[in-house]
Structure 1
Amino acid sequence: MRSSDVQDLYRQYGQELQGYLSRRLKCAETAADLTQEAFVRLIRGGPQGLVDNPRAYLYRIASNLLTDHYRDQTRRPRASAEPLSIAVVDGTPGQERALLAKDRVGHLERAIGELPPRQREVLLLHKFEGLSYGEIADRLGISKNTVMVHMMRALAYCRDHLSAME
Structure 2
Amino acid sequence: MPDAARHPGLDEVVAQYRVPLLRFFQRRVEHFEDADDLVQDVFSRLAAQDLAAIANVQGYVFQVAANVLRDKARRANVRSIMSPAPEGFDIEDEAGFSPERILQSREALQIMIAALYELPEIVRVVFSQYHFDGVAQVEIARRTGLSLSTVEKHMARANGHLLHRLRKAR
Higher relative contact order (CA 8 A, sep 6+): 1
Structure whose CA Rg is larger: 2
Question: Shorter-chain-normalised TM-score: which range?
Answer: 0.3 to 0.5
TM-score normalised over the length of structure 1: 0.47
